[in-house]
């Protein structure tokens, strides 16, 4: 009996997960379908860009600076063994632009802006604001979800780019200013080695994909949250956990596609 109920529970969990993925996919499709209104009334997106993008600036800048400084320190220690300290700029820039910038910015975005989106929409649902909107013949996906989705998609690559830029500056502070690596070789080797299409564009594509994934997960979890205190808190946790795992898994897939053999 115990085996039977365990199998049943696993089966139920799998069916439930597949069902939720299907509902989330439908939700994503509807968000795209009803996005026209958001672009016609761009001020709705601007407002959300402020709360998801501008309000994330501090965490992105501070985290970017420290990650860059750590990269500078660790990179110098490793490169010194091979007498290649002058390549520190290349290492810091490639590490940030290709990987750490998009991934770290997306993780921070998921925990700051993503969780806020989920909690906000979940609470709107719990306080019947979404039902009220429906009863006023206003489509909540068009009015609430779509502007937030596009704000997330637009702000994510910009935040990732900022993270990388500040990180490079952090690497410069530690490598050149503190340790004394030659400034000319730090910048010139970086300029020669970092390719716009291969590195910067691929990094931007990564962050764009992460932006879509994180924002959809955050919005769906909020919209699907049970209208109770536990429901909203559970949805907020799920947003951070699911987004973080999705970012890391997708990063591997995208890296394998973009940089294999490069």
Taking CB under 8 A as the rule, does residue 2 contact another protein?
Answer: no
Report d(CA 51, CA 57) in Å as an integer.
10
User: Which pair of tokens denotes residue 61?
Assistant: 């800048």
Please report whether residue 62 would count as binding another protein according to CB under 8 A.
Answer: no
**Distance (Å, rounded) from C-alpha 165 to C-alpha 58?**
14
* HSE toward the beta carbon, residue 139, CA cutoff 13 A: 14
Binding mask 142-181 for another protein (x = CB under 8 A): -x--------------------------------------
Q: Residue 135 interacts with another protein (CB under 8 A)?
A: yes
Residue 129 in the binding site for another protein (CB under 8 A): yes
Rounded Cα distance, 17 and 82, in Å: 49
Which helix (H) or strand (E) is 161 found in, with range? helix 146-172
198: helix, strand or coil: helix
Measured CA to CA, the distance from residue 24 to residue 156 in angstroms comes to 20
Q: Does 1 bind another protein (CB under 8 A)?
A: no
Per-residue x/- track, 178-197, another protein (CB under 8 A): --------------------
Among 137, 196, 230, 261, binds another protein (CB under 8 A): 137
Q: How many residues bind another protein (CB under 8 A)?
A: 15
Spatial separation of the C-alpha atoms in residues 64 and 169, rounded to whole Å = 9
Secondary structure letter of residue 54 according to DSSP: G
Distance CA 77, CA 92 (A): 13
DSSP for 216-233 reads HHHHHHHHHS-SSHHHHH
34 contacts another protein (rule: CB under 8 A): no
Name the minimum Å distance from CB 139 to another protein.
8
Cβ 44 to another protein shortest distance, Å: 11
Query: Can you tell me which of 124, 156, 166, 246 binds another protein, judged by CB under 8 A?
Result: 124
- Rule CB under 8 A: say whether 46 interacts with another protein: no
Of the pair 123, 179, the CB lying nearest another protein is at: 123
Q: Are 244 and 51 in contact (CB under 8 A)?
A: no
**Does the footprint of another protein cover residue 138 (CB under 8 A)?**
yes
- For position 136 contacting another protein by CB under 8 A, the verdict is yes
Which of 33/62 has CB closer to another protein?
33
Please report, as ranges, the residues that interact with another protein according to CB under 8 A. Answer: 123-124, 127-129, 131-139, 143
């Amino acid at each position: 009996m115990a085996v039977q109920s365990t199998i049943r529970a696993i089966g139920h969990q799998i069916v439930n997960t597949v069902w939720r993925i299907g509902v989330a996919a439908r939700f994503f499709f509807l968000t795209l379908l009803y996005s026209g209104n958001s672009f016609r009334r761009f001020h709705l997106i601007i407002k959300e860009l402020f709360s998801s993008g501008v309000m994330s600036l501090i965490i992105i800048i501070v985290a970017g600076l420290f990650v860059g400084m750590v990269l500078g320190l660790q990179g110098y220690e490793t490169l010194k063994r091979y007498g290649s300290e002058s390549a520190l700029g290349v290492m810091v820039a490639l590490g940030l632009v290709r990987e750490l910038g998009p991934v770290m910015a997306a993780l921070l975005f998921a925990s700051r802006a993503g969780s806020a989106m989920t909690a906000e929409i979940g609470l709107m649902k719990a306080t019947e604001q979404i039902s009220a909107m429906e009863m006023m013949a206003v489509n909540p996906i068009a009015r609430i979800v779509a502007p937030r989705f596009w704000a997330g998609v637009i702000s994510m690559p910009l935040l990732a780019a900022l993270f990388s830029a500040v990180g490079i500056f952090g690497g410069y502070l530690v490598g050149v200013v503190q340790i004394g690596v030659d400034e000319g070789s730090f910048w010139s080797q970086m300029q020669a080695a970092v390719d716009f299409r291969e590195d910067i564009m691929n990094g931007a594509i990564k962050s764009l994909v992460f932006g879509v994934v994180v924002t959809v997960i955050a919005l769906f979890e909020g919209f699907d949250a049970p209208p109770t205190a536990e429901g909203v808190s559970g949805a907020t946790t799920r947003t951070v956990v699911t987004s973080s795992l999705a970012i890391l898994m997708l990063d591997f897939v995208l890296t394998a596609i973009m940089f294999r053999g490069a």
